[in-house]
Amino acid sequence: MSKVQNTYLFAKGREFPSFEGMTKDEMKSLLGGKGYGLYLMHCVLDLACPVVLNLPTFHAHGLDENGRLPQDIVADVRAGLADMEQVTGKKLGDPVNPLLLSARSGAKFSMPGMMDTVLNIGLTDAIVDTLAKGELERFWLDSYRRLLQMYGDVVEQIHEDGEDPFEKVLHTFKAERNAETDLDLTGADLRELISRYKAVYVRNDREFPQDPVEQVVRSAEAVFRSWGNERAVFTRSLEGISDALGTAVNLQEMVFGNKSVRSATGVYFTRDKATGIKSEDKLDGTVLFQAQGEDVVAGIRNSLPMEALLEHPDPAFHAIYHEMKETGTRLEEFLGNMQDTEFTIEEQDGHPVLFWLQIRDGKRSAKAESVIAANLCDEGIITREQAVMQVNPERFEELLFPQLNPAARDAATVITSGSAASPGAASGMVVFTQDKALELAEQGKPVILVTVMTSQEDVKGMKASEAILTSTGTKVSHAAIMATAWGIPAVVGASEISIDRAAKAFTANGFTVKEGDVITVCGTKGGVYLGEVATIIPEDLDPRAQQIIDWAHEIKALDVRANAEAGETQAAYDNGARGIGLFRTEHMFLGDRLPFIQEVLFGNDEAKAKVALEKIFEISKGDFAQSMRIMDGYGVTIRLLDAPLHEFFSHDADMEREENPMLGHRSVRMAITHPAIPRTQIRAVLEAAYELKVEGLDPKPEIEIPLVVVPTEVAAILAVTTEIATELHAKYGVWVPYALGIMVETPAAALQGEAMVAALREQLPGVAPEAHPVHGFASFGTNDLTQTTLAISRDDADKFLPLYVEQGFFAHHPFVSIDPRVERMVKIFVDEARAVDPEFEIFICGEHGGDVYTIERLHLIGLTGISMSPGKVYRSILKAAQSQIVHPRA
C-alpha cells in the first residue's frame, strides 16, 4: 500500500496521487466520502471539476490541545496551496487574479449539515477593494460579506447572548433598507454591511486575518474540529458511526454560481429519487440562477426544474443540459448506481461553464430503491448480486404497510409518542378491555386497544384491534412481538399515557381520550394522533421489488421460513416463506378453547378431562393440517406447548404464581409432568399429516420440544412419537416421515450438541425404523437463550437495560440483535452438532431471526435456515442473499 500523505492534490494536468493497494472502502476512510468522490471526478471520470486539496481524515485526531494543526502539517498544506496556484495560474492574495477556496468537511459516511463549511476563503480588504471597482462590484462585496460571516461563526465562533450576531446585523440592516432579499442590497449597502460585520469582530476582541493562508489554515482547523461538535456526535451515536473515523477537509477552488445572472448552481439526480424511473425528457433535480450552493438548500428563492436550462434563451445552456444528461448516464455506467450530484455554472468571459462539485450514490425512497436496482440490472449496468446489495432490507418493509399520508400527518394533532414497535398505521376507536374490543369489532367498528401492557390473555382482543397502544414495554415486549407477528401496527412504552380503566379514559399531555374516541397510531414512527389521519395503502408488491426478492431467493444460502400459526400461514407463503419455522401452539389453548385445557390441568373429573383432550386434539389437528396444506412439500415445525401453567389462569388468580416463571415449570417440563398434553399434540400433528398424505399431498411435519436441558427429555418425547407413529401406520397402512427436534433456548442445551443429536437419532429397540423421525433438527430460541445467558429477564429489563445500551455496556440491544455471548453459545452448539452430523438441520426461530445484523452472523455460523414473523420475511430473504453475496457459502 502506498504511503499515506498529509495532503492529496486532485488537479487536471498534474500527476494523480497513487492509492495502489487500497480498497475503495479504505480510500473512503482516508479521504472521506466527498474526497473520494472528488478523486473519482478528477482522476477517474475526468469531469470538469475545480482543483482540490484534500486533507485526509486522520488530521481530525491530530490537532493539538488548542485545536490547531501541527506545524509540519501546516507546511504541507502551504506546499499544497502553492501547487494549486501553479495549476490554476491564480495566486492567493493577488488583487487581480486571486485564488479563492472553499473548505468543506467530508467524513466517510455522509452526515449532511452536521459539520461546518467556509466559502470564499482568500478574499481580503485589498482584493475586494480592487475587484469591486469592476462591473462585479456587488458580487465581490457580497462574497466578502459572506466570508466574514462564515469565518466569524465557524472559525472564531463569535456568539452574542447565544445568537449569531452577523445574522442579526444582516436582518436589521435589510429591515433598515427595506430589502426583501440580498439581491435588493446595493454595492453601497454591502460596503456598510461589511463595516458593521467588522465591528462585530472588534467588539468581540477578534480579528479577521488579512493573510489568505492564515484564513485557509484556520478554516481547515475549524472544519476538523466540527467533527467533535454536539450535533455531529449526536448524529453519529444515532446512526452508529464510529467516532474514530474523523472528517477530511477538502480545500477546493471556488467557482461562483452567484457571479452573474448567467451563473447558476443546482443538484441533479441521475434517476428520479422518488419513483426510481429514468425519464428521457425530464431530469430529476433543480437549478437556481445567480446563487451559491447553500442557497439551494436554504430555499431562499424558488428553484427551477432542470428543464429551465432547455428553456434558456442562450443555447449554450441547452448544451449544458444535454451534457449533464449524458454525463449522468456515464456516471451510472461507471459507478453502477444512481448518482446525486451538485454542480455550478459560472459565467466566464461571457460563456456559461459547467463545473461538477460533488457526486455520490443518491439517497432515494424505499420504492425507488428496488426500481433503480432492478432496472440497472436489466440495463446491463450491474449484476443481480449488485442489484440485491443496493436494496436496504429494513426499508423494504415500508413498501408493505399502510402508512400515514405525510401531509395529513403533518396537519394532525399529536397526543403523544412511544416506541415504534410494529410498522404500519391505523385509526380506530379507543377501547381499554378485551371484551369491549370484541364487542365493537363484532359490530364492524375499528378499535384500538389501549392498555398498560398485554399478555397472552389479551390475544383475542389484540387480534380484533386495528392497532395496539401500550403505556409500558419495549420493542421486544409481548405486545410488540405479537403485533409484529400479526402485522398489526403497535406503539408501546408510550409512557406519558396514564390510563384510568375505571373512568374508561386515558390522559397524556393535557389530552383526555375516552373510550370510543377515535385516535390514529403510527407503528412505523411511533406517533399517536387525535382523530383519524389519512393513510396510504400500498398496492401489491411492486413488480420491480418482487424481481429483487426473486433474485434474492435464488442467491441466498439460508432457508427462510416464517413463525406463523394456521391463520398466518398463507400470508407467510405469499411473502416468500417456504416452510414454517415456528408454529406456536399456546394460542390454540386460549380464548374459547381455554376451558378445555383448564379442565385437563386443574379439573378432577377424568371423564371430562378426556372429552376436553379430544376437543383439543380435533382443534389442533385442523390447525396443523391447514398449515401443512399451504406449506405442502415444505417443513412445518410445530412446537409442543411452551407456556407455563400459570398462563392458563386468569389475570386475577395468582395462586400457583412462580417466583421466576421464566425458569419455572413449563414447556417440556410440563410435558413430562402432564404427559397427556404432549401426547395429544403429537397425535394431532401426526394424524393431520397422515390425513393429508392419504389425500396425496406431501406433508412434512416437524415436532419441536421446547426448553430442553437434558437428552433424557428428548428420549421421553421420542418414546411417544414412535408409539403414535406406529399406531397410525397400523391405521393408515403407510408411513409418513416426520422430523423431531429441539428448541435450543438454554445454555445447557447449547452445550450438548453432540448428546442432543445422538438422542434425536436414538433407535428404540423393538420399534420399526420407520416409526422413528427421518431426521433430527434444532432451532434456536434466542429470546430465552439471551435471557438465560445474560441472566436478564426481558420483562424486567426496562429498569436498567436501556441505560446499559445507552452507556455502551452492550454494543447493541441484546433482545434486538444477537449478543456476542449468545452468538458464542450458538456457535458451540452448531460446531458440536455438525461434527457429529454435517447434515444436521439447525434453524433460528426467535425474533432475532428477522434482525439483519443477526441474519448475517447466523449465515456465517452456518445455520440451515432462519424463521421470523411473516412481516419480516422479505427483509430476511434480502439480508440472507446479501450475506451470501458478501460471504459466499458453499
What residues line the site for its own copies (CB under 8 A)? Answer: 658-665, 669, 672-673, 707, 709-710, 712-713, 716, 745-748, 751-752, 784, 787-793, 795-796, 799-800, 803-804, 807-810, 819, 821, 824-825
Give me the helix-helix angle, 852-861 and 873-886, nearest 10°. 50
Q: Which three cell numbers stand for residue 246?
A: 474523523
For its own copies, the closer CB: 672 or 816? 672
E strand spans, 412-558: 414-417, 419-422, 425-431, 447-451, 467-470, 490-492, 498-500, 505-508, 511-514, 518-522, 527-530, 535-536
Q: How far is the CB of 793 from its own copies (least distance, A)?
A: 4
Q: How far is the CB of 667 from its own copies (least distance, A)?
A: 9
Cβ distance 668 to 717 under 8 Å? Answer: yes
Cβ distance 707 to 668 under 8 Å? Answer: yes
CA angle 534, 537, 543 (to 5 degrees): 155
Helix (H, G, I), strand (E, B) or coil at 791: coil
For its own copies, the closer CB: 454 or 575? 454
Helix (H, G, I), strand (E, B) or coil at 212: helix
User: Cell 432490507, residue?
Assistant: 393
User: Residue 873: which H helix or E strand, with range?
Assistant: helix 873-886
> Catalytic: which of 377, 845, 848, 859?
845
For its own copies, the closer CB: 796 or 831? 796
For its own copies, the closer CB: 617 or 810? 810
CB atoms within 10 A of CB 207: 10
CB atoms within 10 A of CB 878: 31
For its own copies, the closer CB: 309 or 670? 670
For its own copies, the closer CB: 590 or 663? 663
Determine the Cα–Cα distance for residues 85 and 53; give it in Å rounded to an integer: 11
Q: How far is the CB of 147 from its own copies (least distance, A)?
A: 41
Q: How far is the CB of 485 from its own copies (least distance, A)?
A: 21
Cβ distance 258 to 290 under 8 Å? Answer: yes
Q: How far is the CB of 754 from its own copies (least distance, A)?
A: 12
Q: How far is the CB of 665 from its own copies (least distance, A)?
A: 4
Report CA 315 to chain centroid distance, whole Å. 45
Let me know if 249 is exposed, middle or buried by CB neighbors in 10 A (0-12, 13-18, 19+).
buried
- Name every residue whose Cβ is closer than 8 Å to that of residue 752 and which is 6 or more positions away in sequence: 710, 711, 829, 832
Q: How far is the CB of 718 from its own copies (least distance, A)?
A: 14
Give the CA distances from residue 555 to residues 200, 397, 573, 579, 861, in Å, rounded to whole numbers and listed in that order.
63, 20, 18, 18, 18
CB atoms within 10 A of CB 536: 12
Q: How far is the CB of 805 from its own copies (least distance, A)?
A: 11
User: Residue 248: which H helix or E strand, with range?
Assistant: strand 247-253
For its own copies, the closer CB: 615 or 669? 669
For its own copies, the closer CB: 376 or 826? 826
For its own copies, the closer CB: 512 or 712? 712
Annotated active-site residue 43? The verdict is no
Give me the helix-helix angle, 711-732 and 753-761, nearest 10°. 20
Q: How far is the CB of 658 from its own copies (least distance, A)?
A: 4
DSSP assignment string, 127-190: HHHHHTTSTTHHHHHHHHHHHHHHIIIIIS---BTTB-HHHHHHHHHHHHTT-SSGGG--HHHH
For its own copies, the closer CB: 286 or 817? 817
Residue 190 has phi, psi (to 5 degrees) of: -70, -35
DSSP assignment string, 804-839: HHHTTSSSS-TTTS--HHHHHHHHHHHHHHHHH-TT
> Catalytic: which of 478, 587, 775, 859?
478
For its own copies, the closer CB: 96 or 244? 244
Determine the Cα–Cα distance for residues 760 and 147; give it in Å rounded to an integer: 76
Q: How far is the CB of 656 from its own copies (least distance, A)?
A: 9
User: Cell 419495549, residue?
Assistant: 474
Let me know if 192 is exposed, middle or buried by CB neighbors in 10 A (0-12, 13-18, 19+).
middle
Q: How far is the CB of 594 from its own copies (least distance, A)?
A: 21
What does the DSSP 8-state code read for residue 603? Answer: -
Cβ distance 437 to 465 under 8 Å? Answer: yes
Query: Which residues are registered as beta bridge partners of 346?
Result: 353
In 3D space, the residue among 844, 812, 837 whose CA is nearest the CA of residue 581 turns out to be: 844
User: Residue 775: which H helix or E strand, with range?
Assistant: strand 775-780
Determine the Cα–Cα distance for residues 87 and 81; give it in Å rounded to an integer: 10
Cβ distance 100 to 92 under 8 Å? Answer: no
Q: How far is the CB of 204 from its own copies (least distance, A)?
A: 35
Question: Would you state the torsion angle of the CA atoms of residues 440, 445, 449, 454, taken in this order, to the nearest 10 degrees?
Answer: 70
Annotated active-site residue 845? The verdict is yes
For its own copies, the closer CB: 153 or 784? 784
For its own copies, the closer CB: 239 or 796? 796
- Name every residue whose Cβ is closer than 8 Å to that of residue 515 and which is 6 or more positions away in sequence: 429, 430, 431, 432, 436, 504, 505
Q: How far is the CB of 669 from its own copies (least distance, A)?
A: 5
The catalytic site residues sit at 478, 845
